[in-house]
Structure 1
Amino acid sequence: MRITSLETFLVPPRWCFLKIETDEGVVGWGEPVVEGRAHTVAAAVDELADHLVGTDPLRIEDHWQVMTKGAFYRGGPILSSAVAGVDQALWDIAGKVRDAPVHELLGGPVRDRQRVYTWIAGDEPGEVAEGARERLEQGLTAVKMNATGRLGQLATVREIDEMLQRVAAVREVMGDDGGVAVDFHGRVTPASAREMVRLLEPLRPMFVEEPVVPELSADLARICATTTIPIATGERLYSRWDFREVLASGIAVAQPDLSHAGGISECRRIAAMAEAYGVAMAPHCPLGPIALAACLQLDFATPNTLIQEMSWGIHYNVGGDLLDYVVDPSVFAITDGHVERPTGPGLGIEIDESAVRRAAETGHRWRSPAWRLPDGSLAEW
């Protein structure tokens, strides 16, 4: 068997899909994307095709090594995301060739169903309690919310009090058994983060996510030492080397993104590293159905997985949503806050290629917002 072509599709709302074809008719799908840089990642995939076309798709690890280490300049989110989508598609092919889901190729399932969560409200949180009620009605038992909108160097008393009021409102709706994750989104300085996580403790968040930007990861140990709340991070870390120091800082939850951090192959290694530090896995996934399917395959073979993010109904999904490109949406059906173990071959989903091609005719040019503070300076989004 040989790879014959790689084809990318930019589809709404902000995703990039990859189709890898072989000379024996077996097809694999992946999702290589950096949100806001989808065209750039698609170009990187096209460059990787020079190595891949004509080769055996089942040599997944060898391809991963060549794609990541076979050039003088390495790393970064664009390359690692291109590699991630290719890796997902190769695992999809491998599972289809062997008529088995990927999690069986990774050693077999360690659970029968996986708890999931999704977002409530938007980038600048408003009425979040109603959003939490809607998620409960949809069968979810855990949600994630933004802690704040745009912030300056030090959060004001009003900003902190408003954050506490919003989280308290969601906690009341979710009850003691519900999970409430609070995402700081890297908008907070280390000094404000230390104060804010301490004040959140009575509300018992499931975790506080990305309290500071990855450039300030050296401050995570001080933040972790400040609070009893589990600290989560990792969506903007792209390799096991990026995670090495972070895992030792005292975080409780690692959140690599399988469409950014080298795909199934690399995130499996990150999960094993995390287990050695007593750190749980909660893969980041505000993306499309292929990325979610890849995450679930890893989740079901990973003992230290805590919970899985999914993008169903997320505020970014304008013009397309999680279930729009799959033939059978029931594979992602939620029962009592969980998704059942997929049993189909490969990634366990069938992509509606005709829907993908129609959507790609429109495409997208989604960009991250550029926020400004009242004084006109740039704010972290």
Structure 2
Amino acid sequence: MTKIETFRVPPRWLFLRVETSDGLVGWGEPVLEGRAATVEAAVHELAPQVMGSDASRIEDTWQRLTRSGFYRHGPVLNSAIAGYDQALWDIAGKRLGVPVHDLLGGAVRDRVRTYSWVGGDDPAGVREHIQARLDQGFTAVKMNASGALRHIDSPAAITDVVDRARAARETLGDSGDFALDFHGRVSPAMAHRLLPLLEELMPMWVEEPVVPELSAEHLPRLVERSSIPIATGERAFSRWDFKPLLEAGIAVAQPDISHAGGISETRRIAAMAETYGAGLAPHCPLGPIALASCLQVDLVSPNTVIQESSLGIHYNEGWDLLDYLVDTSPFDVREGHIDRLTGPGLGVEIDEAEVRKAAAHGHEWATPTWNHADGSLAEW
């Protein structure tokens, strides 16, 4: 590796360009939403460890970036490492003229089911938004279950959550799917109250029913007491973070390929989840490089359930998933699926001129701060 560049591009992403001595270019997406500048600094801080090294030694690079520092893992470092890892797999595939999934053992499926978001942070207009997704070719969606909730909220707030889920089920019918993201906004007490009320509507899963720091104590109880599949993992950053979640009995593991160490570590998490009977549904409300990386892992993982896409998500104002691609067709959605990527490397061609132009604009996206009516901080 001879040259490394980062590009902070709207709406809230960070791209990494890695170039080799023989002119091959690989792309990665090392970003943590709301902490793009911090991860960008980490990418450049790690650069001396990779400059001049052999780009083909992907696992050795991953091990050195992960283990050579005394302080390891966590969202910032693992996101920075993820970008390098994605870029090196991209280079490896381009060098051999094959997609990354061929290097990972070959595809076990011809297409990957995908879903997109509806409803926004404080969800509204669910029926209309779902219909728009159906018209785009999706057969599954995900939405936040609620806005901010108090530790023990009112019957009206509970009814709003259930009514919103019912609207989703009625719009999708029995052949479509919706997932409810509790987003860590729901206290354990409210999660125990809500899950039984949602069972008859059969959501595909309930996501992050409690904040990660309460998972060890409460996830096993929630799993035992509800027939609704529990999904979580976007705030778990390594296979070691996933071990207690899988032991708790989650049904779906959701590593984020731009936070959890890239393609290499996400592939290991997927295999680990398989040994626990858990499915894989990578978290990806991000850009095209992250989505392409996810799809490469999805294609080789027998336990893949479905893949998240940020197309049209409420954060993508002004710029969207497809805007940085030379050819958008690899991400076409047909009958709720994206076909197997066949191009070399990650399978997509990044429009470098558009990336450089957008990076001049940049972004300063920050996680929203919410407050309850009494002024106290609310979980976003």
What is the TM-score normalised by the length of structure 2?
0.99
For 2:187, which of 176, 186, 189 is the aligned residue?
189
SS in 2 for 1:114: strand
Aligned counterparts of 1:334 and 1:317: Cα–Cα separation in 2:
18
Letter in 1 for 2:166: A
Whole-Å Cα distance in 1 between the matches of residues 142 and 83 of structure 2? 25
Code of the residue aligned with 1:185 in structure 2: it is H
Alignment match, 1:96: 94
Q: Deviations over 1:296-328 (max 9, x none)?
A: 000001100000000000000012100000000
Counterpart of 1:180? 178
Contact 1:5 1:49 (C-alpha < 8 Å) held by counterparts: no
C-alpha distance in 2 between matches for 1:151 and 1:89: 40
Aligned-partner Cα distance in 1 for 2:152–2:60? 47
Are residue 164 (structure 1) and residue 145 (structure 2) matched? no
1:214-265 Cα deviation digits (max 9, x unpaired): 1111110011111000000000000000001110111100000000000000
Q: What are structure 2's unaligned runs of at least 5 residues?
A: none
- Alignment match, 1:371: 370
Specify the SS of the correspondent of 2:300: coil
Alignment of 1:176-255 (within 5 A): 176-218=174-216, 219-255=218-254
Question: Is 2:261 aligned against 1:259?
Answer: no
Q: Distance in 1 between matches of 2:187 and 2:211?
A: 8
**Counterpart among 80, 83, 87 of residue 82 in structure 1:** 80
Give the structure 1 partner of residue 319 of structure 2. Answer: 320
How far apart, in 2, do the equivalents of 1:341 and 1:156 lie?
A: 46
> Secondary structure in 1 aligned to 2:215?
helix
Which runs of at least 4 in structure 1 moved beyond 3 Å after TM superposition? none
Query: Equivalent residue of 1:324, what SS?
Result: helix
SS in 1 for 2:322: coil
User: Percent of aligned positions with the same letter in both sequences?
Assistant: 63
Which position in structure 2 is the counterpart of 1:294?
Answer: 293
Q: CA deviation at 1:198?
A: 1.1
Deviations, residues 16-56 of structure 1 (Å, cap 9, x unaligned): 00000011010000000000000110110001111101000
1:48-67 map, 5 Å = 48-67=46-65
Matches within 5 A, 1:13-92: 13-92=11-90
SS state at 1:188 partner: coil
Give yes or no for the alignment of 1:281 onto 2:280: yes
When the two structures are aligned, how many residues end up with a matched partner?
379
- For residue 102 of structure 2, give the secondary structure of its aligned residue in structure 1: helix
User: Matched residue of 1:294: which SS?
Assistant: helix
CA–CA separation in structure 2 for the residues paired with 1:4 and 1:126? 49
| Residue 351, structure 1, aligned to residue 331, structure 2 | no
Which amino acid in structure 2 is aligned with residue 155 of structure 1?
D
Q: Return the alpha-carbon distance in structure 1 between the equivalents of residues 215 and 162 of structure 2.
A: 24
Alignment partners' CA distance in 2, 1:352 and 1:100: 20
Consecutive unaligned residues in structure 1, runs of 5 or more: none
One-letter amino acid of the structure 2 residue matched with residue 121 of structure 1: G
Query: 1:305 & 1:111 partners in 2: Cα distance?
Result: 10
For the aligned residue pairs, the C-alpha RMSD in angstroms reads: 0.5
Q: Per-residue deviation at 1:155?
A: 2.5
Which whole-Å CA distance do the structure 1 matches of 2:215 and 2:251 have between them?
A: 14
Structure 2 equivalent of residue 309 of structure 1: 308
Distance 2:244 2:210 in 1: 15
CA distance in 1, matches of 2:98, 2:214: 42
Question: The residue matched to 2:98 in structure 1 has which SS?
Answer: coil
TM-score (norm: length of structure 1): 0.99
Residue 32 of structure 1 aligns to a residue whose secondary structure is coil
Letter in 1 for 2:127: A
